[in-house]
Amino acid sequence: MSQATLNAPSREDFAALLEESFRTSEIHEGSVVKGKVVAIEKDVAVIDIGAKTEGRVALKEFTGPNRDLTLNVGDEVEVYVDRIENALGEAVISRDKARREESWVKLERAFEASERVNGVIFNQVKGGYTVDLDGAVAFLPRSQVDIRPIRDISPLMGVSQPFQILKMDRRRGNIVVSRRTVLEESRAEQRSELVANLEEGQVIEGVVKNITEYGAFVDLGGIDGLLHVTDMAWRRVNHPSEVVTIGQPVQVKIIKINHDTHRISLGIKQLLEDPWEGIAARYPVDTRIKGRVTNITDYGAFVELEPGIEGLIHVSEMSWTKKNVHPGKIISTSQEVEVVILEVDSSKRRISLGLKQTLQNPWEGFAEKHPVGSVIEGEVKNKTEFGLFIGLEGDVDGMVHLSDLDWNRPGEQVIDEFKKGDVVRAQVLDVDVEKERISLGIKQLAGDPFADAGEIRKGQVVTCEILEAKESGLEVKIVDTDLTTFIKRSELARDRDDQRPERFAAGEKVDARVTQFDRKSRRISLSIKALEVAEEKEAIAQYGSTDSGASLGDILGAALKARGDKDEE
């Protein structure tokens, strides 16, 4: 500017000076201003920020990850003013801080709007990596790098890529970003697009990606579907590896699609003919057929009749006699067995099989060989409170009830005479095939003493042999029969003084009157007292009366004498 101009400035000069004055007043510490490159010296650039104020910025601040700026004299750049003037009279300015300030403003807007930002991974630090977000440095945790853990991150270094800001703290200068969130969102978008193009019932090709205990995951071209083990084949599959291998191309049918969770269920067996179609016609009830045992459980065994068709032999249909035995002790896996078709339910896809039906019912066989009334021999297997169990041929048991042990003695008393392992003879009383019961009797072998007692009737006088004299009475046996009974003490004599059991001895014979005889209830009662009373009445009737003047002794004496004479004749 000339001296003349300074002495007499024009209107334009005044306006320029005024604008420069305003510009100078806008410069303050902590602000970002525009400056012009006026010189480049070695590794620094001299920048005029206005009002004859210049500052120096290292050239390296104009380069960095994903940026390489060629700086020339005359270029305008934005810088951050740390100080307006230092000890040398120069402004302290920074290009990095200017870029960081600018980036923070943009990043805060993106964070509030949940928008993605571009950045470059440029260094590794403890627990993760640092990312340059166009001047602002962010922290990328190791867990947020990818969906799956990555061993080598070098291919991702120095490459501009999108990130999602998870957290920002401007006061502390902290920014946390995630690459994994971006990948998951992109993957979700891709899955949604892929799922939208798929339909249930569609047949599609895929590649087996992974195998688990319950099935296999198949890659359908960017989205995985689950091929469950039950949908791999119509037959029983113990493990998916029996059908598929990792990397194997497979043709599958889409069974179900959940558009909310993007879960896809696949099937292979649905592409094959259903072997259960027309099953009832192929396997009529009562048909005998051979099959292979594929699996044994606590409740039975599964038998494969043909590929894809299995039936169950319930444990109750395995053996006629082995009731509480594990199926594994009767048959084994992979064994070929002959079975009988018991029931076919095509709607529930169930076939009930029987193994014991291929053998003769042992109770039927026993009944044919040993009809009611026949005599058998067997070993005492068990003693219970209600009788004996006898082991019989055909691996069946027969029971002798307490009431069928002895004709005269109570069963509770007689059963103590038997022990396990004793071989006994018994008579077949009844065979119930349906209930699988055989009733036996031991006392029947000795004959029924009541049936062989002849014409014994109530009021009859019988002769008895005393078996044992007890304080309560006499144990006696009727002569010429097998009947035994007990005469109570009160029935031993008419007079109370004579009702003494010690008057009698074992082996003696006495006469008594039958006071009760019932073949159905098997009851017989005898009384010596009743006989004496009857004889007294008879003597009085024949040899005197109460008003004849004869004593009772004379009358009885005469009766006894007459009876003795009759016996002698």
- Domains of the chain listed by start with CATH number: 25-113 (2.40.50.140), 114-184 (2.40.50.140), 198-271 (2.40.50.140), 279-357 (2.40.50.140), 362-446 (2.40.50.140), 461-554 (2.40.50.140)
pLDDT for 79-109, tens place per residue? 767 676 665 667 767 666 667 777 777 888 8
Residue 463 vs residues 425, 466, 482, 483, 509: alpha-carbon distances, Å: 33, 10, 13, 12, 7
Q: Which amino acid is at 553?
A: G
Q: For the whole model, what pTM was predicted?
A: 0.49
Higher-pLDDT residue of 167, 192: 167
Q: Assign 493 to helix, strand or coil.
A: coil
Query: Beta strand 350-354 with 309-314: parallel, antiparallel or unpaired?
Result: parallel
pLDDT for 503-549, tens place per residue? 899 889 999 999 988 777 778 889 999 988 888 887 777 765 545 44
Degrees (nearest 5) of the Cα angle 560, 561, 565? 115
d(CA 555, CA 542): 9
**pLDDT over 90 for what percent of the chain?**
35
Backbone angles phi, psi at 11, to 5 degrees: -65, -40
- For position 68, what pLDDT does the model report? 54
Taking 60 as the threshold, does the pLDDT of residue 239 lie above it? Answer: yes
d(CA 487, CA 473): 6
Query: Beta strand 224-228 with 263-267: parallel, antiparallel or unpaired?
Result: parallel
Let me know if 553 is exposed, middle or buried by CB neighbors in 10 A (0-12, 13-18, 19+). Answer: exposed
Higher-pLDDT residue of 474, 410: 474
In the structure, what pLDDT confidence band is assigned to residue 65 with cuts at 50, 70 and 90?
low
Residue 204 vs residues 190, 193, 267: alpha-carbon distances, Å: 18, 16, 10
pLDDT (average), residues 225-241? 90
d(CA 247, CA 468): 97
Residue 342 — left, alpha, or beta (φ > 0 → left; ψ -120 to 50 → alpha)? alpha
Chain CA centroid to CA 34, Å: 76
Does residue 227 contact residue 244 with C-beta atoms inside 8 Å? yes
DSSP string, 517-555: EETTTTEEEEEHHHHHHHHHHHHHHHH--TTSS--HHHH
Specify the DSSP element, H or E, that contains 64.
strand 63-64
pLDDT for 334-380, tens place per residue? 999 999 999 999 888 899 999 999 988 999 899 999 999 899 999 99
Degrees (nearest 5) of the Cα angle 387, 389, 392? 150
d(CA 353, CA 342): 5
Degrees (nearest 5) of the Cα angle 349, 355, 361? 135
Nearest CA among 175, 160, 164, 28 for reference residue 104: 175
d(CA 91, CA 85): 4
| Partner residues linked to 181 by β-bridges | none
pLDDT for 432-475, tens place per residue? 998 989 999 998 888 777 766 667 888 888 899 998 888 889 98
Retrieve residue 385's tokens. 């409170």
